[in-house]
Amino acid sequence: MPSRKITKEEQKATEQLSKERLKRIMSTRRHHLRTNARVLKYGTKSFVRNTWLSVAAIAIMAITLLVLSATVIATHVMSNAIDKVEQQVDMSIYIEQNTSRAQIDRIVGRLAQLPTVLSVSSTSPEEALSETVNNIINRTKGMSDEEKAIYRQNLMEAPNKLSWEVNVKLVNLNNTTELEEFVANDESIKDVIDKNKTPSYASDRRDTINNIANTMNRIEIIGLVAAAIFMVIAILVVFNTIRMAIFNRKEEIRMMLLVGASRWFIVGPFVVEAALYGVVAAIIAGGVTYSSVFAIRSYFGSTLDPTLDIMKQYWYFVACALLIAGIVIGIISALLATRKYLKQH
């Protein structure tokens, strides 16, 4: 019995039924899990197969992450240095020698109430003289203890022209406006301030702090610019590496396109491969960063201790940050490469 000829309507209906069935299969959770597992498997195989081809990409990504890490660490170390210097700096206000202790205590109490003031202390003329004499004696060489004692006694008996000194630590060393207004206008201090000595609103240490702050800003800017440059280079290197991998598998990709493979099934393995570059680069960068910081600790002493403590305590955060940065760089590169190829085909 001759076979019946299939009409165009029946052929279209069959095709539509097949598409709907395929769509139902592809929409199931089991299918998604299986697809993702295969994408992960193919991407890992490709990474292992192309390891030597990808050495340059991994190396550039590792350098990029190292520059980022070095910038963050240097900024944190500089910030700690500024805080340490600020804790040692105070502003000095000089009060006439004949001012009573009660007046000084009143001035100290009013200064302590200012919002911009962290702490206040005072030094009497006698205490200032004793400290000055001790400094002179300590710098004197070639004298016996008996000669030093006589010398000290003579210095202590000399006319004392030193003033009271009120030492003020500020919350922000660069914000002296409120302190200056207090010295100029407050009744408790205006009439007893020593007019022969100018209050030390600015000092050598303050200049040191400004220099450190400026250096920190320059290091941060240079580090971020360098990291951005290396990041662009890393993306380009990974981009070309993925393009080479795509070229090696172009016949396979063409077949997958012909049989209707999903975009993710084609792109996914390359994304996984590039992400693995980022993971390896992050591991290398993390190991080098921690090893370097511990190695140079002996040269910087306690300056690096706060940074080291944070790195030890939050090592998991540092690891996650490096991994995320590396993976993001890899994924962006892979998506750019595969998008360009699929757009051409």
Residue 283 has pLDDT above 90, yes or no: yes
Q: Which residues have C-beta within 8 Å of that of residue 234, sequence separation ≥ 6?
A: 57, 60, 61, 63, 64, 329, 333
Last residue of a domain, one of 178, 202, 226: 202
Tell me the C-alpha distance between 117 and 87, whole Å.
Answer: 12
Task: Measure CA of the first residue to CA of the last residue in the chain; give whole Å.
Answer: 46
Closest to 238 in 3D by CA, of 328, 329, 324: 329
Residue 21 confidence (pLDDT) = 58
pLDDT digits (tens, 9 = 90+) for 65-79: 888 888 888 888 877
Residues 265 and 161 in one domain: no
Residue 282, domain extent: 35-83+210-344
**Residue 1 has what pLDDT?**
47
| pLDDT greater than 80 at residue 138 | no
Q: Are residues 94 and 214 in the same domain?
A: no
**C-alpha closest to that of 162 among 247, 94, 77, 217:** 94
Choose the weakest-confidence range: 147-151, 164-168, 215-219, 246-250. Answer: 147-151
pLDDT value for 15: 56
The model's pLDDT over 213-253, given as tens digits with 9 standing for 90+, comes to: 677 778 778 878 888 888 888 888 888 887 877 777 777 77
Say which residue, 5 or 218, is predicted with more confidence.
218
User: Could you give the strand order of the β-sheet that contains 117-123, starting from the edge strand earlier in sequence?
Assistant: 91-95, 164-170, 117-123
Contact 297, 304 (CB under 8 A): yes
Domain count, the chain: 2
Instruction: Kindly state whether residues 222 and 266 are assigned to the same domain.
Output: yes
Domain identity same for 284 and 193: no
* pLDDT value for 20: 56
Same domain, 309 and 197: no
- CA distances to 114, 132, 185 from 181, rounded to whole Å, are 11, 30, 6
